[in-house]
Structure formats: structure tokens, C-alpha cells
Structure 1
Amino acid sequence: MKEEGKAEGSGAALFEDLDFPCEETSLFSDCSTPITRLKGNVTWERPQDICQSPALFPTNISLAHAKQGLLGDCWFLCACTFLIKNQQLLNKVLPPGQPQWGDSRYRGSFQFHFWQQGHWTEVTIDDRLPCINSALCFSRCHSPSAFWVALLEKAYAKFHGSYEQLWAGQVSEALVDLTGGLAEHWSLGDLGSEEGQQTEQDSGQMRRKKLDLNLLYAVKDDCALSCSTHSTPGGVSEVGQYHALIVMEWLDVKKVSGSEVRLLRIRNPWGRCCWGGDWIWSGAGWSSVDPVCTSDLQSRLAEGEFWLDEAEFLSHFDDITVGYPITEEGHLRSIYTGNLLTHHHQLAARWVKGHSAGGSRNSSSYSSNPKFWLKVCERGEVLVSLLQRRKQTNAEKYAQMPHDNSKNIKHQHYQAIALHMWKVEKKRFNLSRMLNKPPCASTHCHAYEREVVLHRQLEPGHYLVIPSTYQPGAEARFLIRVFSSSSTALSALKSSAPSLPLTTDGEWETSYFRGSWVEGSTAGGSRNFLSHWQNPCFPFTLNDEPALTSAVNVKIALHQSRPETDLHPIGFHIYKVPEGGSIQAIMKKEDPVASCIPHCYTQDVSLDCSLPPGFYTIVPSTYQPDCSANFTISLARRIHRKVVKSHERLGRSIQEVSHISVMQN
């Protein structure tokens, strides 16, 4: 045994990482997970003290796969398995040529790279690894003399702050951290009630939930595919809650009858078989397949692997994660089409309370969110990703919730986020009017995920992309990424596009109206309901002098007199009424000329706009009919204003829809 602290064959001291010391601070964050029981029992030893001939990788690559130890990081180990299948990515994370044990250059340190918020970050560690009774207590390779997994796990623990922070996580996050690419998440479970399945027409949410493995056929040999369970499924004999496994391969096998069955080879990070279905070693399924084929498929099984058919796969697992293939040139391949996404852009930004944290489309401050121009030069496949940075706290760690509350873990560290996109015919546009229209594409729901992805085939033109949190005032840093098959450009709007030309100088004349929504009488609800015309109406006139023809700036605000804890969603429309015309008839046949929608659960909503001379009526409403409340409307009209030409003609009629967002867990 060599002297501790000395490099082999030299007197040089081995590297000791003071930033991630061999102490309990590197193991535990808040001692909230089962590894707390290891306190006082862990020693830190270098690989040459654990076995005689340590190496990073074994000569038999099948023994290089990860085997989970006492740490609940199956999600990370599934991503590690994908690295073994892609030498280029493995070399990116673990640069080759580093001196190992037995090399005169060996100094007890190793360098790793992890992708973080758009850039690769180097993490250097020493090779002292946590052990119990001189054996690795966390993840290891199937080969006892290979240490790349244990060292990578230590580097990732340092990257996160401690080993305990790796206790629970998402496969998608680990895949992105290890590849710099994209990963998407599909639910295989019950889609829920009919009401829960309703989506905007432009949303791809339902298509993604109803996963068909045929969708991935073009990339099945190159993508990362992981499956996970939230509870013990029927075919699993010992898998507990929230366990992730990796799909090693899948293929269509011809049965003796002439039909085909799709089989998937699954690897359990625990390193032992845990399946009890029809395709275990002596299962009934093999009797339907040619014996030669059976022998071939069973010979492919390594320790911890098992076969199952597609029906078992879809029924016994709750969701899957798909990592996008990455070519040697570093380009992503679409998991939808197999197309190369050769164009890539990214921009960093943040939501700031009181400035750019506008919240969801339920909020009247939505338009203050950061905005981005996406220019599509020719028709092509486009992916837009919104990746938020995890909240930084000192006391809270990723795994501090027990398993029965694990669905709430992400709520502590991530905001509920979404992406919406509008096609804009020209860069000079009316923002408030545009935002009242449905987006051409969106992620539909605000989700407590680190990253959400929007996928579309887009025609040439300019698109306005708005990322948002669900709650107004929620702060976070984020990264917008665009991957596309055709030429695109991404830029940030330096300042918000004005809704309509308004000035602060001059005189303003303000009028006030008071009214009530009364159940069964004047509480007609929004334009989605036939009773909308029953709402109170408040007429006003702009520039009734014939000589005055220029448009007038107006500011309208609606205040509901209800406590903050019991608010109705409110909004209002402005209709232009011909002199002597009936407002009820206009409301039934014509569209409003301006609107303050969608309806928001807030005390006040307001709208600044510019209207040509004429006769108008303000119609305030709650979203649902028969919601009683008192309210006040203020109408401010600027007088003696200079002539300002509108940048855009009134667009197509507005059809109001509810945009009450659903927060996904």
C-alpha cells in the first residue's frame, strides 16, 4: 500500500478538493432523505485503496453500465447509460486522455463538464469516494474495478451542492445537463376527465400525451428513452414509487403466427431484474416466437435487464422521457420527424418583479413579460424551449420532501412556466389587440418544470414569443432556445411595443360611472354566453364636433367592489354605436372595437386606447353569468391632442375565449 496522500511512483501530494471536502457537508444538505442514516459511517477512499487495478472503464463495455447504490439517483443513472451509447457525448462530459491510476502523471484529480444555462461548465474533483467498509456506498459500475460512474456521480453532486441533492430528480434534467440538448416528457397515464382534456386548437399537448411509439421510430436507435413509475405496477415485483428505468432497445419481432409483437429491452439501474411479466426468462410470451429468435433476444440480456412487450410497457409505466439524438456535428435530430435541426439560437433573460414579471394571460400585466422576435426565413420545423434556472436557496434542497409528497418537490424550486407565440404580419403592430387573439402556438399549460418545449412547423414570417410564469411578480432567470431545420433568427425586444399611441402631456377629462351586476338581471357574463347583452351599458361620445376628425386617446378602468379573497374574473368591451342605434342589437351582431380581456381575477383592469370620433358604449362583465357585484368605471379622455396616425388598421374580429391556465404538477 502506498503512503496516503502521495502519487504513485512520485513524492507529489495527491489533489484534495477543498471546495467539496470529504466531510458530511458534501454528503448531506438538510438531512431529510434516507441516506441520513449513513451519518458517521462513511469513509472516503481513493480507487486504488478499494481495488488492485482501478480504471475508468472496463475492457468489457457491457460492464460499464451504472449500478445504483444507496442514493436515490436512478434518474441521473438513466442519463449516464445514454452516454455509453454515444462516445462523442461521453468525451464531452469526461474528456479523454486524463491520467489514471498507474500513470506517472496521475495526481488524484479528474475533470468533468456539465451543460448549464447555455454553456459547458468544468467541474474538477478529487477521486476520494464515499465508502462503507471500504466499498462504494453510492453508484458504481457493474465491473468492480471501473470507476467512471462513481466519479461522474461525485462531480454531479458537487455541481448540485451535495450528494443528498441527487436523491430525487427528473431524467430530462440530467439528460440536458449531460448533453446540452433537449428532452421531452410524455405521460402514459390516464388523460383525465373530458374537461381536463380540452385544449386550445393550436396546442400540441394532447398529441404529446397520447404517445405512440411509432412517432419515435425514425430515431429509436439514437434517442434516449427512459420510463418511470410513480407506484408499483402489476408487472414489477419490487420496484417502489418514483423509479426510473432506461430503454436499451426496442424492435418488432415476428411471431410464429405471422403477426408481430413489439418488444422493449429495459435496464433497471438497481442492477437486478425486477420484472414478472410474460417475457421473463421462462415467460409465456416466448412460446409465440421462433426458438432461434428467442435464444438471440435472451442472449442480449445483461444483469438487471428484461424484455417486455409494448402493451405491458404502456400499461405498467406512468411516463417516459425522450432525449433528442445529437449528431457528431452537434446538431439535434427531431424526435417527431427525424429531421436535422441545423440552426440554433439562444438568449438569456429574466422575469423581474414590478418590471417584467407579468404573469399568465389571466393577468392584465401579461404584456409586460419579456418578448422575443423569432424570424422564420423559410418553412421548416421549429422547436422553442423555455429553460428556467432553479431557485437558489440555502436551506431547501431538491430532495427534502418525502416520497408521498414528491409531486410538490418541483414547486419549491421552479416557477410554473409556459410559452405562447403569435404570428405578426409586420413589426409595427398593436400589442394589446394582438394579445386578445389566440396564439398560433403555445405549450398550453403553465407547468412546474425546469424546461417546456414548443414544437411546430412554421411558415416564413415574424413571430412574437412570450415566456411567462403563472403568477405575476414571480422572479426567475431563464434561457430561450430555438432549434430549427430552416434558417431562423432570434432577438429580444429591447422595449415593449406600445399598445396604442399615448402621450402624458395635455389635459384629460375624467368621468365616472357606477353600476352593479345583479344575478338574474344584469349579470350577463362574457361574450361566450348569449346573455352577454344583459350587462350594464355606459354610453360616451368622442369629438362630437363635426370639425374634429382626429382620434382621441382614452383610458378606461374597471374596479370591482369585492374583497381580494373573493374576486370575480372581470373585463370589458367597447362597442361603436351608430347614432340612434340599439346597443343590444349591436352587441348581438357586431364585434367590439376594443376589449380588455381575458377576464382576470383582480380588483382592477384597465385599457389605454385610441378611438376615432363617434358614439361608443362600455360593457363591463364578469366571465361567468350571474356573478353579483358592484363596480366603478373611470373614463379619461384627452382633449386638444395632436393628430397621431394609428400604426395599424383594426384587425379581424375578436372572438373571446377563456384563458384560465391549468397548472400541471
Structure 2
Amino acid sequence: MKEAGRAEGGGQALFEDQDFPSDDASLFSDSSTPIARLQGDVTWRRPQEICRSPALFPDNASLAHAKQGLLGDCWFLCACSFLLKSKQLLDKVLPPEQPQWDHSRYSGSFQFCFWQQGRWTEVTIDDRLPCINSTLCFSRCHSPTAFWVALLEKAYAKLHGSYERLWAGQVSEALVDFTGGLAERWSLGEAEEEEQQQRPEQDSDRVRGRSLDLSLLFPVKDECAVSCSTHSSPGGASELGQYHAMTVMEWLDVQMVSGSKVLLLRIRNPWGRCCWGGAWVGSGLGWSSVDPVSAVELQARVAEGEFWLDETEFLSQFDDVTVGYPISDEGHLKSIYTGNLLTHNHQLAGRWTRGHSAGGSRNSSGYGSNPKFWLKVCESGEVLVSLLQHRRWRNAEQCAQTALEDSDNATHQHYQAIALHMWKVEKRRFNLSRMLNKPPCASTHCHAYEREVVLREQLEPGHYLLIPSTYQPGAEARFLLRAFSSSSSSLSALKSPAPALPLTTDGEWETSYFRGSWAEGRTAGGSRNFLSHWQNPCFPFTVCAESAVTSGVNIRVNLRQSRPDADLHPIGFHIYKVPEGESERTLPRDEDPAASCVPHCYTRDVSLSCCLRPGDYAVVPSTYRPDCSASFTLSLARRIHRKVVKSQERLGRAIQEVSSLKYRIIVQR
């Protein structure tokens, strides 16, 4: 093998990317996927070391499509197929006129561009590719001499931090990263739609997809990206695992001999082989019902790894469909609902911060503290608003606990459950709490563990209040809010008032911290619904008379559990009055708590501020169900009444000194 660091003929050294080196650090993030078994077997070769005449693209366009290797990134490869349909988008992601292997300016590097959180980001890589022996071990083109897919995959892996981080993802994410547009995931099932109709306003921490009517997409079917996926092995596609995505290459109404029409869809499997045995594969029975000339023409369109199926088969074999919005030559988004060009777009960044702007869902009393945005619509028209959150990577131990095949679990690792609600506001000055008690004029209906959720509505001119939220109060994340409209509009952040400063003239606060744990079978007694509640840890404290002489809050309690965000227990606590002369170990079990922080919430922190009379008390923190193990920290702040002494003398002396100096200056004139 030739030395990888030298160009042909021993010329200038070829580029070697030190930020994404040719070693295991670029392949693996936590070795939690099946490719971990490749450790020690991978060699890195440049394309000219793999074949004689490498090129980015083959002469035969049908051989430019991607073929999946040992990496589970079918979602990424489905988005690659869409790039081949649009030269404009392909040139954006892979800028043209880059020196290739037969050019004198070839230096061993290639540049790619990906849309990330509101802007296009350039990624430069060297062209050393992971191989086993002399064969690419990950994605490639159907042509063995074309390398655009392998190089794009490497650049995308660098963007994510490693190849392993491309294992299991959503087609919608790759489509947005390649286009800067929008993509939506639609359910092909009926049960979820019925559930949503029964409880349209109820927030949920699980994904409830909207059912897709294929006829909706007919006006833009030749322009949008469409992929389909299965979450479990369907009857006809027995080769498929628990999750696999494919590309819908085309779909059309075909005239049958009987005079009726049948909707046929041509599907491409990234594996590069047919895994379907339905009525329209090869010499299947379906073709006998179609005009022979049409049958021959349609069968001739099938390339390697492709197959036809009809609408009935499609709806029964796949669980959901992802639709990427078309992008016009001018770069404008086109609505998949109406075909309208959305020529106006705006974006603003924001974040949910614990204790300040992470108020949780509409089920939470803190919902009104979430970030708020004004959308001004100047003319009637179609408006789409998207909420896109930043991805957060988990550590190796947490990732290893997630089933690799379960795409929902993989999504829950990296994202919060998010939603977006919108209210029509008649005046810019309004009562927020009163307005939030009214149903929103539009929303994403449920909190979903998706990177992006989309709200779409036909809006009249006016002002609209947008509130993005996570399902769990206190959940932290950064996000990007985007608005696309067919008519003039504007987007701005609603400035939240500054939090009130604590008053220091009526006392000070003294805080104590306690560490404890709920242990299964011993100290994890659960809520008051269970007899074992009294097994929970108990923390005594005293409210002195001096602490109770002032009106208002004199006790603040915060309970914080130490568990991963994706695996939180519902927690809460009660404060019990200890009878005079008794111990906290003999709390009266038939008496109501003096104060409570309930209901139990799936959140990292719960807090309560209250006013208690002088006496002895005990805090009993708990999970909702018994035998839920976790460590926790309890902080207890008590107001202590100390007289505040103001240094009037010092202040007066300072003023007097300045006055004397001023007087001396005047006299010396």
C-alpha cells in the first residue's frame, strides 16, 4: 500500500485532518453499537488506494445512489437520495469545482456544508476512508469508483463527533441538515389518530403522530422528499429489523385493464437489495391487471435495491412517513399542504433555563415562565412555525442502557419532549394568566421527543403569542424558533420582566443541606397512597418564634434527585408537624401534612415556599411509587430575623469629607 500522507509521484504531502483522525477516536464514541466489534480491523485508505480511477460521481446516474454498509445509518442515506433529485441542494452541501484525484490541485481534502441551528456550517475532511482490507466498510455508491456518499458520510460523522453517533437517527434530521428547510414525520396508523381525537388538548410525554393521507401530497409529490420506515418486521419484509428507513422514489396512478386506477410506489432500500415479496415484485400477480406496455415500462424503472408496491401494501407494511418540504430555486420553502411559496422567514434562538424559564407543559403551574415570542402577521396567509431543539449527547454508560434497535429510546436519550402553543392576542398589553386559561388558537397538540416540531395554520392579520415548552418543568435545552409565511410577518422575543430582588430589610435566610437516598426495600416507601410511606427518610427542623414574627414566607424547601434526565422518578415531599414533646420518628400518621409539594413530578427539582408557625417539623421526601431507588439532596432555608444595622455614620462622614474638600477648593481660588 502506498504511503497515505503523500500525493501521487511523491509530491506535496496530502492533507491529514488532525481534528478527525484516522483512528478509533473517529469511529467510536462509547462502543455501544455493533460496529464496536470492528476495533482493530479497520484500515484507512484514500480512494486512489481503493480503485484505479476514483471520482465523486459515476457516469451512470443510477449508480450514484447510496448503498448501506455496516453502519446503521439508513436514515442518513434516505436523505442522500433526495440530494440527487436537486442539483441546487447537492451543490450547497457538496460545493462543486473541488479538485479531485486526477487534478493537479488535488490535496486530499474536501469541503461540505451542513445547516446547523440556523446557519450553514462548513466541514472540511481528508479523504482517508475506513475500510476492511481494501473495501469500504460503511456507506458507498452502487458504483465502486464513486465516492461522494462515503465522503459525505465521513463529513457528517465529523459533525456529530464519530461514525458511531450516526447509528440510529431520524430521516427528518438529515433532511433539515441538508436543506435548511423543514421535514415532518407522519403516522400511517389509525390508533394514534383516534387517541388524539379523543384527547386533543391533553399534553403527553409520548409521540402521537398524525395520520397521513397520501393524496395530500400529490400537488408536490415530485418536488418533496418522501421516506418510509418500519418499526417492526412486517409480514412481507421479513428481512427488516426493528427499525429501518427506505426512500420513496416515485409514486403514480396507474391505469388498470379494468378501467380503474391503482396507486403504485417505487421504494428504494438502502441495503441495495429487494426485501419485499408482494404482488408487484418481479413477475408478481399485480402486473397482470395492468396494461402490458405500462407494466414493461414500470418494471424497467426498477434499479438494484428497488421494488414496486401498491397503496394498500404500503399502508400495511410501513409505520410512518417522513416528508421533506420542497425548496425553490430561489431558496424559498414550499408548503406541502398548499404548494404555496413561503417567501418570508424569520428565526430567533432561545433556551429553557431551570429556575428561570423552564416552566414545563401546560399541566404545570410554572408554564407561564417559559420563553415567549411575538409573531406579527401583516396579511392573511399560511404560516408555519417550527421549534427545533439542540441535541444533547449522553455519556457512554447511559447510552449502553438504551436498546440500540429502539428508535424511540434513542430519540429520548438526546432530546426533551417539546411542544409549541400559540394564542391570538388582541392587544399587546394583556393578562397572561387569564389568557393561558383559554385554549390556544393553534398548537402541536402534544409534547414529542423530536428534534423539531411544526405548527401550521392559516392566520388572519394580528399579533400572536408563541410559547415553546418542554414537558418536564426544569428541563434545560437550547432551541431555535423559525417562522415561515406566505405573506409579510415578523418575529420578536417578548422580554420577561427582571425577577424581583429579595428584601433584605426584614431578615436573612439560613440554609441547611441534607443528603439522602431512597433504597429499595428499606427507605423507598413511596407516596402517602402506600402504607410504606413512613419508611422514607425524615429530616427534622425547627421554626423559631423569631422566624415566624414576620408575615409571608418563612420556609423554602427544595428536593433534587440524582438521576439521568431520561430516567427521572416522579418526586415530591410533605412537611409534617411533630407533636410537642414527641420525636420525628413518631409522626402522627392520621394527621394531614402541614404543607406539601405535590403532585409528584417527573422532574429533577421540586420546590415549595410556605409560612409555618413556630414548632418542630419534619420533611419526608418520596418517590410516587415504592422501591424506586435514587439519591437526593434536600435544601431547607429558614428566615431568621436579625436586626439590620445601617452604617449611617460612615455614609454621613463620606459626604462631609467631600463637602469639606469642595469648600477648600473654592477658598483656594
Question: Same-fold call, TM > 0.5?
Answer: yes
Preserved contact between residue 192 and residue 209 of structure 2 (Cα < 8 Å):
no
Shift of 1:393: 4.3
Preserved contact between residue 165 and residue 398 of structure 1 (Cα < 8 Å):
no
Preserved contact between residue 111 and residue 124 of structure 2 (Cα < 8 Å):
yes
Using a 3 Å threshold, how does the CA distance of structure 1 residues 604 and 436 change in structure 2: closer, same or farther? farther
Amino acid of the structure 1 residue aligned with 2:125: I
Shift of 1:281: 0.9
Match of 1:63 in 2: 63
Rounded to whole Å, the distance in 2 between the matches of 1:346 and 1:17 is 33
| Deviations 1:504-528, CA, capped at 9 Å, x for gaps | 9999xxxxxxxxxxxxxxxxxxxxx
Rounded to whole Å, the distance in 1 between the matches of 2:317 and 2:307 is 14
Shift of 1:429: 0.5
Preserved contact between residue 333 and residue 342 of structure 2 (Cα < 8 Å):
yes
Match of 1:302 in 2: 303
Larger mean Cα displacement after TM superposition, 408-417 or 64-73: 408-417
Shift of 1:190: 4.0
Shift of 1:365: 1.1
Preserved contact between residue 8 and residue 104 of structure 1 (Cα < 8 Å):
no
Alignment of 1:91-102 (within 5 A): 91-102=91-102
Preserved contact between residue 15 and residue 109 of structure 2 (Cα < 8 Å):
yes
Alignment of 1:153-172 (within 5 A): 153-172=153-172
Rounded to whole Å, the distance in 2 between the matches of 1:399 and 1:253 is 48
| Deviations 1:577-620, CA, capped at 9 Å, x for gaps | xxxxxxxxxxxxxxxxxxxxxx976799999xxxxxxxxxxxxx
Match of 2:124 in 1: 124
Shift of 1:334: 0.4
Preserved contact between residue 358 and residue 369 of structure 2 (Cα < 8 Å):
yes
Match of 2:210 in 1: 209
Q: Determine helix, strand or coil for the equivalent of 1:370.
A: coil
Preserved contact between residue 354 and residue 473 of structure 1 (Cα < 8 Å):
yes
Rounded to whole Å, the distance in 1 between the matches of 2:483 and 2:254 is 38
Shift of 1:451: 0.5
Match of 1:534 in 2: none
Match of 2:559 in 1: none
Preserved contact between residue 202 and residue 441 of structure 1 (Cα < 8 Å):
no
| Deviations 1:52-103, CA, capped at 9 Å, x for gaps | 0000000111100000001100000000000000100000000000000010
Q: CA RMSD in A?
A: 3.2
Match of 1:114 in 2: 114
Rounded to whole Å, the distance in 1 between the matches of 2:272 and 2:364 is 49
Alignment of 1:165-204 (within 5 A): 165-192=165-192, 197-200=197-200
Rounded to whole Å, the distance in 2 between the matches of 1:458 and 1:377 is 10
- Equivalent pairs, count: 527
Match of 2:449 in 1: 448
Match of 1:226 in 2: 227
Using a 3 Å threshold, how does the CA distance of structure 1 residues 565 and 135 change in structure 2: closer, same or farther? closer
Match of 2:280 in 1: 279
Match of 1:390 in 2: 391
Q: Does 1:7 align with 2:7?
A: yes
Rounded to whole Å, the distance in 1 between the matches of 2:399 and 2:416 is 14
Match of 1:26 in 2: 26
| Deviations 1:165-211, CA, capped at 9 Å, x for gaps | 111100000111111110000111242495554243799x9997221
Alignment of 1:354-365 (within 5 A): 354-365=355-366
Match of 1:322 in 2: 323
Q: Determine helix, strand or coil for the equivalent of 2:457.
A: strand
Rounded to whole Å, the distance in 1 between the matches of 2:267 and 2:400 is 26
Match of 2:486 in 1: 485
Using a 3 Å threshold, how does the CA distance of structure 1 residues 114 and 396 change in structure 2: closer, same or farther? farther
Match of 1:381 in 2: 382
Shift of 1:4: 3.9
Runs of at least 5 residues in structure 1 that lack an aligned partner in the other structure: 508-554, 569-598, 608-665
Q: Determine helix, strand or coil for the equivalent of 2:26.
A: helix
Using a 3 Å threshold, how does the CA distance of structure 1 residues 267 and 397 change in structure 2: closer, same or farther? farther
| Deviations 1:27-62, CA, capped at 9 Å, x for gaps | 111111111111111100000000000000001111
Using a 3 Å threshold, how does the CA distance of structure 1 residues 251 and 69 change in structure 2: closer, same or farther? same
Q: Does 1:434 align with 2:435?
A: yes
Preserved contact between residue 207 and residue 449 of structure 2 (Cα < 8 Å):
no
| Deviations 1:633-660, CA, capped at 9 Å, x for gaps | xxxxxxxxxxxxxxxxxxxxxxxxxxxx
| Deviations 1:259-317, CA, capped at 9 Å, x for gaps | 00000000000011111000001100000000000000000010000000011101110
Rounded to whole Å, the distance in 2 between the matches of 1:210 and 1:138 is 34
Rounded to whole Å, the distance in 1 between the matches of 2:490 and 2:277 is 51
Rounded to whole Å, the distance in 2 between the matches of 1:215 and 1:398 is 38
Q: Determine helix, strand or coil for the equivalent of 1:325.
A: coil
Preserved contact between residue 417 and residue 470 of structure 1 (Cα < 8 Å):
yes
Match of 1:514 in 2: none
Preserved contact between residue 30 and residue 397 of structure 1 (Cα < 8 Å):
no
Using a 3 Å threshold, how does the CA distance of structure 1 residues 600 and 455 change in structure 2: closer, same or farther? farther
Rounded to whole Å, the distance in 1 between the matches of 2:191 and 2:73 is 28
Q: Does 1:45 align with 2:76?
A: no
Rounded to whole Å, the distance in 2 between the matches of 1:213 and 1:454 is 20
* Runs of 4+ off more than 3 Å: 1-4, 192-197, 199-203, 205-208, 392-400, 403-406, 503-507, 564-568, 599-607
Preserved contact between residue 571 and residue 600 of structure 2 (Cα < 8 Å):
no
Preserved contact between residue 208 and residue 446 of structure 2 (Cα < 8 Å):
no
Match of 1:593 in 2: none
